[in-house]
Structure 1
Amino acid sequence: MAPEVLLRGAANHFLQHSTIDMDMLAGELAISRATLYRAVGSRDALFGEVLWAIGEILIAEASGEAAGSGPDRVIEVSRIFAELLGSAQQMRRFVESEPQVAARVLFTAAAEVRCRAIEAQLAIFQECGIEGDPGDLRRKAALYVRTLEGVLYGPLLGSGPIAFEQAEPALRALITA
């Protein structure tokens, strides 16, 4: 089975069920569970691919809607992305029902979601004209993503809900320093 077909099937499964049940997914894809695991490696890895695919769509949508330029545009893309993700019921249900899995997939290198988010943030910086030493920009992108994670997943991180407006001064300081 082609990887893109498997990913599309897994993403559709997640959007319908707010989780990934490997037995059900294998049945939906008409493959064995063993074949599914051979193709994806682990459930966490598959979650990472699915969540990143959804994240890419939301980033593109946020970038398309955002106005302005420079730091203001970076902030606007982030605000719109946070709103889009906040309105995604499947994601909210997943984080509430499987917080340990969500934390592993979203915040550790195991599923590469965080690494990809940093690369995407770096691209947004560059597209918006944020300049600087490449190493410094990468560190700023990592700090920016970590701060934005507090807004997106505050309860999962143990900090409770954080409004975007509360985090905006810190986000802005990272890109204007």
Structure 2
Amino acid sequence: MDMDVLATELAISRATLYRAAGSRDTLLGEVFWAIGRLLIEEASGEVTATGPDRVIGISRQFAELVDSAQQLRAFIAEEPQTAARVLFTTAADVNHRAVDAQLAIFVESGIEGEPGDLRSRAFMYVRTLESVLYGPLLGSGPIAFESAEPALRALLTP
């Protein structure tokens, strides 16, 4: 995403764009999160199971949807450092939002635990799922969902 081109297309100055959007990383984070939120909603709507099976089903569907998102894959391949910074650090708040969304999925699915424990488990769950979604970006290469499923399931029980 070229901020100069975006400013021109929006018919605003570059300075106005940066005032409104913050940094390029912040804007990319908003875009990634908007896409992620839509994919979570779509995945959630396709799963009818309950409890841990619902959580795993949503995660599997989400992973398949992310894998088929060609523009996201292209961006990660073309700008791996930017993608890693935006997706995995506090630079754009994507990870924090992903943990909040995962925590909501836990609660909606009936996963029980103390609030602090559930949040910690949601954080670990998201990090494990990221290894499936973004293995090459993390330096681990592709990881099949089935390989990570036992670890994900282990996080669903207190």
Question: TM (normalized to structure 2)?
Answer: 0.99
CA distance in 2, matches of 1:77, 1:86: 14
CA distance in 2, matches of 1:45, 1:63: 26
Letter in 2 for 1:112: D
Is 1:73 aligned to residue 54 of structure 2? yes
Letter in 1 for 2:28: F
Match of 1:171 among 141, 147, 152: 152
Structure 1 partner of 2:39: 58
Letter in 2 for 1:57: L
Is 1:156 aligned to residue 123 of structure 2? no
CA distance in 2, matches of 1:25, 1:116: 25
Letter in 1 for 2:105: I
Q: Which runs of 5+ in 2 are unaligned?
A: none
1:12-31 map, 5 Å: 20-31=1-12
Question: TM (normalized to structure 1)?
Answer: 0.88
2:90 is paired with a residue whose SS is coil
Deviation at 1:106?
A: 0.2
1:176 is paired with a residue whose SS is coil
Letter in 2 for 1:32: S
Note the aligned Cα RMSD (angstroms). 0.6
1:1-177 map, 5 Å: 20-177=1-158
CA distance in 2, matches of 1:123, 1:63: 11
Deviation at 1:157?
A: 0.2
Aligned length: 158
Letter in 1 for 2:61: I
Letter in 2 for 1:28: E
Letter in 2 for 1:95: I
CA distance in 2, matches of 1:66, 1:108: 30
CA distance in 1, matches of 2:65, 2:24: 25
Segments ≥4 residues shifted beyond 4 Å: none
